[in-house]
Amino acid sequence: MKMYLREGCSLLLKASKKPQVPFVLSTNPTRIFLNQVNCENGGNDAQAALKEPEVLKRLVREPDISLALRFFMSVSNSNSFVHTRQTYEAMIKKLAREQETDNIQYLLQQMKLEGLSCSEGLFIDVIGSYQRAGLVEQALKMFYRMREFGCAPTVKIYNHLLDALLCESKFSMINPVYSNMKNDGIEPNIYTYNILLKALCKNERIDAALKLLDEMSSKRCCPDAVSYTTVVSFMCRLGKVDAALNLARKFKPRVSVYNALINGFCREKRFKEAFLVFNEMGDHGKAPNTITYTTIVNALSDEGYLEWSLAVFAGMLVRGCYPNVQTFTSLIKGFLSKGRILESLEIWIRMMEDGNQPNVVTYNVLLHGLCSNGQIAEAVSIFNQMERNGIPQNITTYSTLINGFAKAGNLQGASEIWNRMLTEGCCPNVVAYTCMIDVLCRNFMFNRARDLIDRMTEENCPPSLVTYNTLIKGLCNVRRPDWAAEVLDLMERRGISPDSTTYNELLDGFLKVGQLKSANEVVLEMDGRGIPLNNVTYNTLLYGYCCMGMLQEALKLLGEMVVRGKLIDDYPYSALVYIYSRQLKVDLAIRLLEYLREDGKWELDIVAYTNLISGICSSLGVEEALNYLENKMLPRGIFPNIVTWNVLVRCLFSRIGHLGPVHVVDDIISNG
């Protein structure tokens, strides 16, 4: 099957690389600089010796690291200047900012050969450079060589090294460094202890962290707000909120600690306790700050309690605590999640009127909300506004828009955003690729989708399980489960194991084309691999059986679902109504629905009622169906849709041969 992109929808797969700037070798920076200095000094001797301040000034001011290094080396090879400790350190610090670790090593070795000592500040910069380059082990090795360069470590550089190890989660290296620090006779300070506390907490050793708090007090290095906030925050993250609250009440109240507790209770959706802590802050004379309010507003908005979140927001304004971008973003996200577009845009306008300019996160939240609610044109308008306001789009921005176009099946729009993303030099990630594969599948361009999956591997962005599931779903939707099975084989060859979603899509595909044997093989394979049959699996089977008229098999499956406790959503009940109605056992269907409704187990929907109406029409006649609609459906707020009316009309017209056209019209008029 050969498929192509539509005209005008070219899909670029690689971003064009910017041409490299040629490196000019004919320029002698030292000669130019010597002439410039000589002219400034009013002299005529081009070989005049340079002075340290002049070289330092040139090194510090040169923005191009390659030109600065060329100048440094050129000066070193001339007879005009001998580098000093200060010029070496200026150059090394410049290299450290750019993570030029090889050149740093070379210059340090040159200093050592020339007998120049290094300052502790230089080694701190070098350690930071190694950390940013992801070479923390080399930073540790360099630290242990400090004395070779005439520099003895102090508590300051130990703290920087410990922090670098912590940032890279090198927990096993932290204790030896701390032991070495004590062996050197260096007393840890509050910064050292706070780093150790954070390391223990990140390693989930809360008991050890609590002991360290006691040790700090015994060594007259009393814990500060950072110490307590660190421990309380991590206890809350680990679900020990009540224990964290008890700990917090043992020391002097601090706003940051209260914020950590409120965040912990909000994360567990324990809003009553969160408000109790909030009130306790006021009782202890600690005014809630922007972080406090934003934490609560965000949690309430995420849970859909929009009126509560607005009330907290209003209280924030009344108390003179000004919201920030994060506060407004939380509200916007909450309203968008409920489809309340106009109110979210009102909050957006209020945010800008208050002087809070949206950042890329806020823009992405708004774009996602608009796309999720089908407002693609508005999302594109916001995207363009983002560009006009100088907010750089990131991969999340592009992925969100591509996904919005994909859900709308708009290939041209998705392709334009994709090409724009590549043109701007933003490399697609697995999410962007998957969204693009989705829109290709929705437009039946499966060869292109498959090519894009292959390109992902070539571009060192391997497709995920979700990527393959997207292609499998697309193929099954067009009744090609055989092709989808080939994709399953491909993903397994590439080391990705299928999950329940994969098999459920395949199951649905085989049932759609009536391949019951293949569908049963999918279920057996799921069972053989230990992948549990979930509600989607059972409902897919149930739907397939009903569509194929296999009502007895559907009833048996319903019995199995009851035994396994899978009747937790509406679909099985609706299917049971459908089966009873098809079998003309309308009385059983009615009793089932009324029992479930009275028992509060299920709120009837239009699908179930339409199935029942169809059964009543077939077995009892259209008069009884209209009676049920008038006396049962309408009083309960269930209004017929086009499918319901079609069922009734078909039933009415089926009576033409018995009553004649006039009687049919009379029936329709008399029954409204």
Tens of pLDDT, residues 130-172? 888 888 888 888 888 888 888 889 999 999 999 999 988 888 8
Q: How far apart are CA 447 and CA 459, in angstroms?
A: 18
Residue 415, both tokens: 């392709």
The answer to whether 611 and 581 have CB atoms below 8 angstroms apart is: yes
Say if residue 2's pLDDT is above 70.
no
Would you state the torsion angle of the CA atoms of residues 298, 294, 376, 10, taken in this order, to the nearest 10 degrees?
Answer: -100
- Burial label for 112, CB within 10 Å (0-12, 13-18, 19+), is middle
Asked whether the predicted pLDDT for residue 650 surpasses 80, the reply is yes
Residue with token string 């096993």: 172
Q: According to the model, what pLDDT value does residue 666 have?
A: 43
Q: Closest Cα partner for 452 from 493, 476, 439?
A: 439
pLDDT tens sequence across 440-492? 999 999 999 999 999 998 888 999 999 999 999 999 999 999 999 999 999 99
The string of pLDDT tens digits covering residues 261-314 is: 999 999 999 999 999 999 999 898 899 999 999 999 999 999 999 999 999 999
Burial of 174 (0-12, 13-18, 19+ CB in 10 A): buried
Among 427-436, 619-628, 652-661, name the one with the lowest average pLDDT.
Answer: 652-661
Q: How far apart are CA 87 and CA 56, in angstroms?
A: 6
Whether the CB-CB separation of 178 and 193 falls below 8 Å is answered with no
Asked whether the predicted pLDDT for residue 7 surpasses 60, the reply is no
Read off the pLDDT of each residue in 622-643 and give the average, rounded to a whole number: 84
Q: How far apart are CA 125 and CA 131, in angstroms?
A: 10
Return d(Cα 90, Cα 257) in angstroms, integer.
41
CA distance 539 to 390: 49
Distance of CA 106 to the CA centre of its chain: 41
Q: Which two tokens stand for residue 139?
A: 């930073």
b/e 534-562 (16+ beta carbons within 10 angstroms → b): eebbbbbbbbbbbeeebbebbbebbeebe
Identity of the residue numbered 488: L
Structure tokens of 34? 């010597």
pLDDT tens figures, 519-575: 999 999 998 999 988 888 888 888 888 777 777 787 787 777 777 776 556 666 677
d(CA 615, CA 204): 61
**Summary mean pLDDT of the chain:** 84
Give CA–CA dist 581/584, Å, rounded.
5
Interatomic CA distance for residues 86 and 95, integer angstroms: 14
| Residue-level pLDDT at 670 | 39
Exposure string of 4-13, with b = 16+ CB inside 10 Å and e = fewer, is eeeeebebee
Q: Say what the pTM is.
A: 0.72
pLDDT of amino acid 499: 94
Show Cβ contacts of residue 328 under 8 Å, excluding neighbours closer than 6 positions.
347, 348, 350, 351, 356, 358, 362
**Residue pLDDT, tens place only, 192-236:** 999 999 999 998 999 999 999 888 888 778 888 999 999 999 999
- Whether the CB-CB separation of 446 and 477 falls below 8 Å is answered with no
- With vertex at residue 285, the alpha carbon angle to CA 280 and CA 286, rounded to the nearest 5 degrees, is 75
Res. 603: pLDDT tops 70: no
Lowest mean pLDDT among 23-32, 119-128, 175-184: 23-32
CA dist 585 and 643 (Å) reads 21
Q: What is the pLDDT of residue 602?
A: 60
d(CA 404, CA 419): 16
Binned at pLDDT 50, 70 and 90, residue 503 comes out as very high
CA distance 500 to 537: 8
Contact 311, 300 (CB under 8 A): no
- Characterize 190-208 residue by residue with b for buried, 16 or more Cβ atoms within 10 angstroms of its Cβ, and e for exposed: ebbbbbbbbbbbebeebee
Highest mean pLDDT among 61-75, 142-156, 295-309, 595-609: 295-309
- Within 494-550, residue ranges assigned H as helices are 500-512, 516-528, 535-547
611 vs 625: CA distance, rounded Å:
11
DSSP state, residue 601: S
Alpha carbon distance 512, 619 (integer Å): 28
**Cα distance between residue 212 and residue 53, in whole Å:** 48
Distance CA 323, CA 666 (A): 65
Judge whether 442 and 476 are in contact, CB under 8 Å.
no
Residues of the chain with pLDDT > 90: what percent? 45
Sign of CA pseudo-dihedral 431, 437, 440, 444: negative
